Structure 1
Amino acid sequence: MVITLVGEKLAKPGLEFIYYGPAEPCKSCRLARVCVGNLEPGRRYKIVRVRNIEHSCPLHEGKVRVVEVVEPPIEILMDPRSAILGSKVTLKFVDCSDPEKESLARPEGLFEGDQVKIEEIVGEVECDGKKFKLVRVVRGQ
């Protein structure tokens, strides 16, 4: 669980977002350490709890709220030989040239080389004449 700040209008349990790095005004903000300092660029986060604390912010129409976030499970295509339920593996992206499946082959929020745990085998997906497993993984567990 990570504590961070999000714009008041976005502060809803269940909302997912990808953190791309701090905006220019954030670099000199007194709240930067708790706001953007706890997040890793390129990672996906899901709001699990909104606290009843708000602060002023020049970027988010005036206010941000304190929220608790986690990295949610992410679906990804995986080589069937590596896709073993409950196993922990080093992530290796598969090659898939189908643009409609690109978000499954290289989903935002994960990087090649991440340590992930396979939580669920969702199904099977074919791409470029090869069959891959569609799995749901969590990072660093």
Structure 2
Amino acid sequence: MITLIGTNLAKKGLVFTFNGGAKKCESCRFSNTCLNLEKGRKYEITEVKKVTHKCPVHKDGRVQTIEVKPATIRAAIETRKAYHGSTIIFRTEECEEECENYDICHPEGLYDDDTCKIEEIGPKLSCKNNYDLTEVILNH
């Protein structure tokens, strides 16, 4: 996918979460290109193009053309579903925010009922709520 990002952020391999545009973006002629990503999702820059445009929103006053792909996401899933290469329907567990695993159990960029492929299997996790969880890397 082609999109635009502030020139100071345009670096191959950068992972970012798209949070939507500013009020000023609505009337911009580049809004269809700049705001074409899904809000709340994580993306990885795969290529940085030479083309730049003026932008009143970004710090350095310019945006750069980039190519992105959905980023892989570290998450916790039920151990019984953790098989490398398999496809799962992601769902969060009901748990407490104070838990040390909260961020991995509720990862930014994933929503309940997302279809994901398991790219890597990590260690088993300890859980205050006694869920049998394993850390995985998911591709949405």
The TM-score bracket by the shorter chain reads over 0.9
Distance in 2 between the 1:131 and 1:113 partners? Answer: 20
Structure 2 partner of 1:94: 93
Structure 1 partner of 2:116: 116
> How many residues of Structure 1 are paired with residues of Structure 2 in the alignment?
137
Secondary structure of 2:132 counterpart: strand
Does residue 1:54 correspond to 2:52, yes or no? Answer: yes
Distance in 2 between the 1:99 and 1:80 partners? Answer: 18
Unaligned stretches of 5+ residues in structure 1: none
- TM-score normalized by the length of structure 2: 0.92
Q: Which letter does structure 2 place at the counterpart of 1:41?
A: K
Structure 1 partner of 2:3: 4
- Higher mean Cα deviation, 22-31 or 81-90? 81-90
Distance in 2 between the 1:86 and 1:6 partners? Answer: 32
Structure 2 partner of 1:69: 68
Displaced runs of 4+ in structure 1, greater than 6 A? Answer: none
User: What is the deviation of 1:96?
Assistant: 3.7
1:75-86 maps to which residues of 2 (within 5 A)?
Answer: 75-86=74-85
The partner residue of 1:43 within 21, 41, 44 is: 41
Cα pair 2:78 2:131 within 8 Å, conserved: no
Distance in 1 between the 2:85 and 2:95 partners? Answer: 25
Unaligned stretches of 5+ residues in structure 2: none
